[in-house]
Amino acid sequence: PRLWLIVPAAGIGQRMQAEQPKQYLRIGQRFILDITLSRLMDSAPFSGCMVPLHPADHWWPDTEASGDSRIQTCTGGAERAESVLSALHALAEQIRDDDWVLVHDAARPCLHTRDLSNLIDQLYHHPVGGLLASPVADTLKRAGTGDLPEVLETVDRKNLWRALTPQMFRYRILVDSLEAALAGELLVTDESSAVEFSGNMPVLVEGRPDNIKITVPADLALAGFILSRF
Ligand code: C5P
């Protein structure tokens, strides 16, 4: 099977409180999206890469990636799952059912090459696929709502993991799972949750906890620091 890459970049990054979506913020001189894409494309033999963009995106032409003939773009959707599905549909002509699709957040520039190759090596012969994940380090509380929510219980963190990306699935399983999840209006915040809903069991490959998703302003400085130590 061949390897394909999807990097959803159609989000508007509401939680960053910035002018532009977070994937178009810069660390040093470069767009986060360019750091992410070059790291991935230089580290594994992808047959192609699809980047879903927001319909009103006008930053893409300014990226380094826009000059890379291996990378194509398509129009994303209102939800992350719709963006990924639109990219999968855009690949339909070239891809085979048992080919691998890796989906990686544009906003995760701190992926280590070793984690990427480890994910691919560990899953390459698996029938379904899986994802990078990191064991939960903090004590977890379930709480009510409001400004000062009351603790309802402490959740046992044994066997609890943070889902990271890349997430790597067989093409047919991923398309069918996402279509079913969207049709059923299920809550899908990552590819794995859709695959789980379809009755398949993804596996976890332990990855580095510093593969952070840039979400709030403080994450930007943290990502810059992590990248400076690569
Ligand atoms: O908003 P969140 O941090 O979960 O976004 C994760 C990734 O999914 C980001 O790279 C974002 O650009 C992408 N996304 C997308 N289409 C959406 C929402 C998010 O491609 N409608």
Asked if residue 141 belongs to a domain, the reply is: no
Residue minimizing CA distance to atom 19 of ligand 1: 11
The total number of structural domains in the chain stands at 1
Provide the percentage of residues in the chain whose pLDDT is more than 70.
Answer: 100
Asked whether residue 153 is domain-assigned, the answer is no
Residue 79 near ligand 1, beta carbon < 6 Å: yes
CB distance 76 to ligand 1 below 6 Å: yes
In a domain, 152, yes or no: no
CATH of residue 109? 3.90.550.10
**Looking at the domain assignment, is residue 88 inside a domain?**
yes
Residue 31 inside a domain? The answer is yes
Query: What distance lies between CA 74 and its chain's CA centroid?
Result: 16
Q: Write the pLDDT tens digit of every residue in 183-220.
A: 999 999 999 999 999 999 999 999 999 999 999 989 99
State how far the Cα of 164 lies from the Cα of 171, in Å rounded to an integer.
Answer: 19
> Nearest-CA neighbor of 31 among 111, 115, 87, 106?
106
* pTM of the model as a whole: 0.96
Write out pLDDT tens, residues 130-159.
Answer: 999 999 999 999 999 999 999 999 999 999
Using N-to-C axis directions, what is the helix angle for 171-183 and 80-91, rounded to 10°? 140
**Within a domain: residue 36?**
yes
What's the gap in Å between 189 CA and the centre of ligand 1?
9
pLDDT of residue 20: 87
Distance 108 CA to ligand 1 centre (A): 11
Domain region containing 44: 3-134+161-228
In a domain, residue 172? The reply is: yes
